[in-house]
Structure 1
């Protein structure tokens, strides 16, 4: 198996079908990738609806559904990683979707020591025709223009989360998402892997990750100032522990710490 696509989902709505349909439409051979869909923290009627979707398309796509009563996106992703068969891993959020050539182009650009990165397209739910300004899209444009192939300051924008890329499973091995964190776990996981990735490659603009911003998602859910500050301090502590126990870039480590300090500064001056 060449690629494992990991999708956690919780009480999904219609956007999940759009996400899965975009995988059905892939130009990459169905025999070369699997989809690991983990329904976490809920069961019916979502499980039956997903099973019905899979049954109708079992001849054209390989989707394996796992249901767990334990909630949490990190736990769901860890379950999928424990069962993944692919040489490479890509993560997809259940309210996002991808262009038809996404997997094919990412795989063509990947290698055992290289992470391949796609073109990100952000939009507001209900208005996909209007592309939003997005820092990772800006990073893509900069890196294409300047032929970036290593983890420069601009490329680091891609590594705040696990999506929009193809990661060699050899980089991940037994490393997993930290289930103690409800916010910031994506950044911590990507930092945990950062001692492995040195080279980057970029697809064409045809390999698109469509990033949906919607009300009620984890990204848009408001948190209290106290929650944000305490979580930020916990993240800084975890980055520091990881940094001192491995061969990690001091520049990448400092960029993570500075980002957390910036978050706290915004709280203090009342911007959150």
Structure 2
């Protein structure tokens, strides 16, 4: 039987975590899925430890990333997208735990609401896996190109592994394989810019494991590959938003601020170069940037005085 949902999971040297992750997927109350495990050239015994699952549950398929795709998470996910058979796509990481009602809840909502995707909530943990809760589903946000500011600024946060997508969302879109961080932020923004519509619900259906070897931990530890990738993703998002003619002054202000936060003058110059501004407007934004440190310091001072 053709699977309704394709789960795509990139993996790299996670033999110590992945079995627990796959077992949580086996506990899904919605059973018509395939789980594509794409190995990124790992050197540990991942295939050996998951072999019993592969032998006994034909919904799970282990593949090694081919040379057609670049090494890294985006390349593995693109490979998975190219071989996926399901009508819906979801990405899971190889070290997390999935709520048993995850797929069942999402497939019902996405079909009932007739939307392109459904985003949900996650909960972090380090050692002890949180207990599952089955709360009443509440729609928190409607997502479309009209909310692009909230998506880009992450006021509406769409995390990497917390969205069920209609496969049509990836009909002409793939992950940027040159990005090693913030690749989902850049990719998902492009999907929404293509007028795809979705919702975000309140339900916690995913538990992400916190440990020092994750991409996010490496970024906050100032790993140069992750940080440079984030800068590239900033420029890609700016370029894509401008091409759709939805770059508001408010959104451009955000890009200037995020470039400033990197303390990278080249990035700031690239942001200004990417957007063709008239001379008066360019002067205004240059002034805005030059005075930004003083205004940030003033805002912090006022907050401290207000607290006292």
Which of 10, 14, 17 aligns to 2:16? It is 14
Equivalences for 1:126-141 in 2 at 5 Å? 126-129=127-130
| Contact map agreement 1:239 1:253 (CA 8 A) in 2 | no
- Structure 2 residue runs without a partner (length 5+): 265-292, 297-308
Equivalences for 1:97-246 in 2 at 5 Å? 97-111=97-111, 112-123=114-125, 125-129=126-130, 144=138, 147-150=140-143, 152=147, 156-157=154-155, 159-195=157-193, 196-202=195-201, 205=203, 208-221=205-218, 223-224=221-222, 230-246=228-244
Structure with the larger helix share: 2
In 2, the alpha carbon distance for the partners of 1:86 and 1:259 equals 40
Higher relative contact order (CA 8 A, sep 6+): 1
Secondary structure of 1:52's counterpart equals helix
**Alpha-carbon deviations, 1:106-147, whole Å to 9, x = none?**
101114534212231112x2133499xxxxxxxxx9x94x85
More off after superposition, 221-230 vs 83-92: 221-230
Tell me: CA distance 1:220–1:64, structure 2 relative to 1, closer, same or farther (3 Å): same
| Contact map agreement 1:116 1:200 (CA 8 A) in 2 | yes
Tell me: CA distance 1:232–1:15, structure 2 relative to 1, closer, same or farther (3 Å): closer
TM-score by length of 2: 0.69
| Contact map agreement 1:161 1:190 (CA 8 A) in 2 | no
Q: What residue is the counterpart of 1:134 in the other structure? A: none
Secondary structure of 1:34's counterpart equals strand
More off after superposition, 181-190 vs 216-225: 216-225
TM-score by length of 1: 0.77
Tell me: CA distance 1:246–1:117, structure 2 relative to 1, closer, same or farther (3 Å): same
In 1, the alpha carbon distance for the partners of 2:44 and 2:212 equals 23
In 2, the alpha carbon distance for the partners of 1:186 and 1:27 equals 27
Secondary structure of 1:113's counterpart equals coil
How many residues get paired?
250
Secondary structure of 1:66's counterpart equals strand
- Structure 1 residue runs without a partner (length 5+): 132-140
Q: CA offset at residue 18 of structure 1?
A: 1.3
Secondary structure of 1:26's counterpart equals coil
* Backbone CA RMSD of aligned residues: 3.5
Larger radius of gyration: 2
Q: What residue is the counterpart of 2:65 in the other structure? A: 68
Q: Which runs of 4+ in 1 moved over 6 A?
A: none
| Contact map agreement 1:232 1:260 (CA 8 A) in 2 | no
Q: What residue is the counterpart of 2:36 in the other structure? A: 36
